[in-house]
Structure 1
């Protein structure tokens, strides 16, 4: 039987020229961000926001090398999954190249008997994994889809090991899990993202009993209400409470993004220094680590017919 795996992610601008088109596609997606206007105004407003925000964030992307490594790392993950499973693995993005619609053409040309799709979002939210799954089902109705994998034991082991590697020289670390924020209205509508994130953290902290920790949220975009507390405010509060060693793990992400490389590594590091925190350690994300690749591979293998 001929099988295939499809890895889907939202993507990111790999070059400075891709910033505005990426943001426009992002803000045009009403399932991801409802801008609070009638549907026919969503795209015009998205264009305006993208135009303004592209100018604002361009220096941030310049500071991390002129683009996001998101797509590159997603492709590398796919190659590692293919190497481990022996199953042809494709990569498609919602808002940047390689666009999912183009990847689907490659998959159809490959003509597998069975295909399993997975997103690089371990925690399900309608706005992230949900948007990816929506498009997967539209383009490939026969594909089996992994909805979320927030409790996969290899994923938990991966997080645990990444944190352990970062705290082994610290005396009294406080662990801060920084998740990408989400519009408050989605949580009120029953979106499981917050609960699934908390489940993951609970499993990870079984390996760090006695360590103080907290969950906060970063990367708010646009004028609507987002879930709190914000990572920035939390860092300031921890500094006021006398925390001197802060270890930050980006719980929403499995590879480096603008949100980790600039927001956490540059902006929030400055916030921590001003707050009196002496050791600010951002846990790096090794996207090629065996445990992470096994987590993705095992979730896919579960859905293939035996």
Structure 2
């Protein structure tokens, strides 16, 4: 039987503030960024100390490997980052050196978009060589993913229930992307095709569908909204509505306590530890709204089970057999 492995892909994050300029050049594919933008990102990192994304992602890989072993699957789990070390090309070359012949590849951005799945796929395929790849296109509607987020949300709601006597409304969020990346292929004629299939990019619809599935699993929620967060500083418009304008509308409805749960991120990093825990909480406070956040998935055992199911399905497809179900 061919030697199989699993490759998890994530965004990546610098280890130190000094590395941020090089990291940002990777994020924007070498395009120049204004100095004030670089300084602002440095400032945000300084306020949270550091981003734990890399070590949490490595731990998620370890938990996945354990879960696969429980299911009787002997497959090493590798982790590659698009914008920082360990870089995807380096990790794929390492897999080849280790004799890996087939790999199930999962992007840790569940909602499919050109700026995630398409670019990650290209990075893997550029170095895959003879390694057969099964790439999970998107898993926004995975039941265990929704279960994992609902598990975290339920804990937060039950804590607030004890304090306030009732469940509170929820604002779900996902990372915004530039409008140009989600326009239809016809509008992008002549541009390189970064994702398979036809029709408009599914990202916005998939993000909202994840939120809907999570909300369905916590029936006590009185009301919920959805917004896109962390719009970038690159030129052109980014998709919305923004968190800030949504918080303003929610405050105008008289809401005083609100839970914000990012459902596009699988672990703590700067877009949660700064954007949510500092910037959005301060913005909400000025509106008279107390903003709470559930714990991120991080080392969630339910998330590990979700990833194991995706990995087993991918490995089974590589073997041409029926996908197993966890």
The reply on whether 1:57 has 2:41 as its aligned counterpart is yes
CA distance in 1, matches of 2:33, 2:240: 26
1:187 alignment counterpart: 182
2:258 alignment counterpart: 246
> TM-score if structure 1 supplies the norm length?
0.90
CA distance in 1, matches of 2:167, 2:309: 35
**Residue among 260, 277, 301 paired with 1:265:** 277
Matched residue SS, 1:74: helix
Matched residue SS, 1:97: coil
The answer for unaligned runs of 5 or more in structure 2 is: 70-74, 185-199, 322-326
1:288 Cα deviation after fit: 1.0
For the 8 Å contact 1:10–1:132, the answer to whether it is kept is no
CA distance in 1, matches of 2:87, 2:20: 15
Report the more deviating stretch, 207-216 or 120-129. 207-216
The reply on whether 1:130 has 2:139 as its aligned counterpart is no
Matched residue SS, 1:143: strand
**Residue among 208, 220, 224 paired with 2:236:** 224
Matched positions, count: 287
CA distance in 1, matches of 2:33, 2:241: 28
For the 8 Å contact 2:149–2:297, the answer to whether it is kept is no
The reply on whether 1:166 has 2:156 as its aligned counterpart is yes
The reply on whether 1:69 has 2:52 as its aligned counterpart is yes
The reply on whether 1:299 has 2:313 as its aligned counterpart is no
> TM-score if structure 2 supplies the norm length?
0.84
For residues 21-52 of structure 1, the C-alpha deviation after alignment (integer angstroms, 9 at most, x for no partner) is 11101111xxxxxxxxxxxxxx4xx2334x44
Matched residue SS, 1:204: helix
1:47 alignment counterpart: 32
For the 8 Å contact 1:73–1:255, the answer to whether it is kept is yes
The reply on whether 1:100 has 2:88 as its aligned counterpart is yes
For residues 211-246 of structure 1, the C-alpha deviation after alignment (integer angstroms, 9 at most, x for no partner) is 211110111112310111100111122112100110
For the 8 Å contact 1:151–1:199, the answer to whether it is kept is yes
The reply on whether 1:152 has 2:142 as its aligned counterpart is yes
CA distance in 2, matches of 1:147, 1:172: 35
For the 8 Å contact 2:183–2:201, the answer to whether it is kept is yes
CA distance in 2, matches of 1:208, 1:9: 28
CA distance in 1, matches of 2:101, 2:180: 40
Distance 1:185 1:47, change over 3 A: closer
Report the more deviating stretch, 206-215 or 96-105. 206-215
The answer for unaligned runs of 5 or more in structure 1 is: 29-42
1:262 Cα deviation after fit: 0.5
Matched residue SS, 2:83: coil
For the 8 Å contact 1:77–1:288, the answer to whether it is kept is yes
The RMSD of aligned alpha carbons is 1.5
For the 8 Å contact 2:147–2:217, the answer to whether it is kept is no
For the 8 Å contact 1:172–1:245, the answer to whether it is kept is no
2:133 alignment counterpart: 143
1:84 Cα deviation after fit: 1.4
For the 8 Å contact 1:158–1:289, the answer to whether it is kept is yes
CA distance in 1, matches of 2:47, 2:313: 41
1:172 Cα deviation after fit: 4.4
